[in-house]
Amino acid sequence: MDRTMHGRPVSDEQIQAWADEAERGYDVGEMLERRRNEAGETEK
For the segment 4-31, what is each residue's pLDDT rounded down to a tens digit?
A: 999 999 999 999 999 999 999 988 898 8
The secondary structure of residue 1, as a DSSP letter, is -
Quick one: pLDDT band at residue 41, thresholds 50, 70, 90?
Answer: low
Contact 4, 10 (CB under 8 A): yes
Residue range of the domain that includes 8: 4-38
Is residue 16, in this structure, part of any structural domain at all? Answer: yes
Is residue 17, in this structure, part of any structural domain at all? Answer: yes
Is residue 44, in this structure, part of any structural domain at all? Answer: no
**CA–CA dist 41, 12 (Å, integer):** 34
According to DSSP, the residues that pair with 9 across neighbouring strands are 4
Please tell me the total count of domains within the chain.
Answer: 1
3-class SS of residue 12: helix
3-class SS of residue 5: strand
Is residue 43, in this structure, part of any structural domain at all? Answer: no
Residues in the chain: 44
Quick one: pLDDT band at residue 43, thresholds 50, 70, 90?
Answer: low
Is residue 14, in this structure, part of any structural domain at all? Answer: yes
Is residue 12, in this structure, part of any structural domain at all? Answer: yes
Contact 15, 3 (CB under 8 A): yes
